[in-house]
Amino acid sequence: MKIGILTSGGDCPGLNAVIRGAVLNGIKTHNVEFVGFLDGWRGVVDGDVIDLPRTRVRGISKQGGTILGTSRTNPFEGPNGGPENIRKTLERLGIDAVIAIGGEGTLAAAQRLTDAGLKIVGVPKTVDNDLDATDFTFGFDTAVQIATEAIDRLRTTGESHHRCMVAEVMGRHVGWIALHSGMASGAHAILIPEKPVSLDQIAQWVTEARDRGRAPLVVVAEGFVTTDMEAPHSERGLDSFGRPRLGGIGELLAPEIEARTGIETRATVLGHIQRGGVPTAFDRVLATRLGMAAVDSVMDGLWGTMVSLHGTDIVRVGFEKALDNLKTVPEHRYDEAAILFG
């Protein structure tokens, strides 16, 4: 048996730990061989693979990024795309099954290919933590840790200058990173896509914090909209899948806050720093377990399912469960955090 592994969509700390977990379990428990597709679905469509012997995954669980590379290639496009061409390519390469590690886009593509008869098992991945049917995704804990450390630093310089600091974190559709890093760093306002808030309300929280002698700290997710905005702020065109590139809401908010409160305000965008570098121990363990479990799913022929964290157990769920809904921040989690605002 030969299994092909791919990593697709935005990268995420822990991808390499998944690959290592899969290869080690596959070799030690099931005596299977592995290849890696280069650059996500691009490698599947082009038949571009490398061998993944045990020596190739040695020591990689602590490495950020992905040794296989990633892309936002659509496997249904191009002269070699689509299920029939991919089936022929896999046959030519002697690959019996595919493990696709990715977010909702990658898993949606995997679902369509599985529906067309291909043998694919998924591993959920996203720093945003927005995939449903799994309690956490690996990469999220690392992103929160990085964001929290950065925000702690913004805090001390803000305090020295009696400034309001605005920290912008990732989160296209959901505010999990903002919620957790904001709560961990004691933010006076946490602004998330799920909860539009007026500029006057933000200014009120900032003023309250200043009046208590604090240097106000605002954490905002890139996908946040004020009650006056119709869509998330985007000033950098579209990504390769045609979606607006987000980022810059912090710089938009800073002068508005300054104008309303009279407090000098600075914005910092953390950006891709949140996706780089070594994964936390939590993410390494979660990713390793998911990789191992994905191989077990392949051996059980569970095509069209992904492995997922449920409590402390790794379970198997259908792609559709993960894709039906985004896992947004529930109202009660926002309300709980909001007790600390101002």
Ligand X SMILES: Nc1ncnc2c1ncn2[C@@H]1O[C@H](COP(=O)(O)OP(=O)(O)OP(=O)(O)O)[C@@H](O)[C@H]1O
Ligand Y SMILES: O=P(O)(O)OC[C@H]1O[C@](O)(CO)[C@@H](O)[C@@H]1O
Residues flagged as binding site for Mg(2+):
104
Quick one: 170 or 337, whose CB is closer to ligand Y?
170
* 291 contributes a contact to Mg ion by CB under 5 A: no
3-state DSSP helix/strand/coil percent for the chain, to nearest 5?
A: 45, 20, 40
Strand residue runs (E) in the chain: 2-7, 33-37, 49-51, 97-102, 120-124, 164-169, 189-191, 217-221, 265-269, 305-310, 313-318
* Residue 59 DSSP code: T
Q: Is 340 helix (H, G, I), strand (E, B) or coil?
A: coil
Interface pick for ligand X out of 36, 43, 103, 250 (rule CB under 6 A): 103
Query: For the window 68-97, what string marks contact with ligand X as x by the rule CB under 6 A?
Result: ----xxx-x---------------------
User: CA end-to-end span of the chain, whole Å?
Assistant: 59
Q: Which does 171 bind (CB under 5 to 8 A by kind): Mg ion, ligand X, ligand Y, none?
A: ligand Y
For Mg ion, give the closer residue by CB, 105 or 122: 105
> Residues interacting with ligand Y, by CB under 6 A?
10, 103, 126-128, 170-172, 222, 239, 246
Does the protein bind ligand X through residue 304 (CB under 6 A)? no
**Residue 94-113 contact track with Mg ion, rule CB under 5 A, x = bound:** ---------xxx--------
Residues 213-242, one symbol each (x = binds ligand X by CB under 6 A, - = not), give: ----------------------------x-
**Binding-site positions:** 10, 72-73, 103-106, 126-128, 163, 170-172, 222, 266, 272-275
Cβ proximity to Mg ion, 112 vs 266, nearer residue: 112
In angstroms, give the least distance from the CB of 87 to ligand Y. Answer: 29
> 44-73: which residues touch ligand X (CB under 6 A)?
72-73
Query: Would you name the residues annotated as active-site residues?
Result: 128
Q: Is 39 in the site for ligand X (CB under 6 A)?
A: no
Write down the least CB distance from residue 104 to Mg ion, Å.
Answer: 5
* Rounded alpha-carbon distances, angstroms, from residue 177 to 170, 266, 341: 7, 20, 17
- Kind and range of the H or E run holding 251: helix 249-261
Among left, alpha and beta (phi > 0; psi -120 to 50; other), residue 26 is: alpha
Q: Which of 16, 61, 63, 126 binds ligand X (CB under 6 A)?
A: 126
The Cα–Cα gap between 293 and 259 comes to: 53
| Residues facing residue 121 across a β-bridge | 99, 305
Partner whose footprint covers residue 170, from Mg ion, ligand Y, ligand X, none (CB < 5 to 8 Å by kind): ligand Y
Under rule CB under 5 A, how many of the chain's residues touch Mg ion?
3
Element holding 114 (H helix, E strand)? helix 104-115
Residue 188: which of 203, 212, 209 has the closest Cα?
Answer: 209
Shortest Å, Cβ 3 to ligand Y: 26
CB of 237 to ligand X, least distance (A): 15
**The dihedral of CA 272, 340, 141, 215: what is its sign?**
positive
Cα–Cα distance for residue pair 5/97, rounded to 1 Å? 9
User: For binding to ligand X (CB under 6 A), which residues are involved?
Assistant: 8-10, 72-74, 76, 102-106, 108-109, 112, 126, 241
User: For binding to Mg ion (CB under 5 A), which residues are involved?
Assistant: 103-105
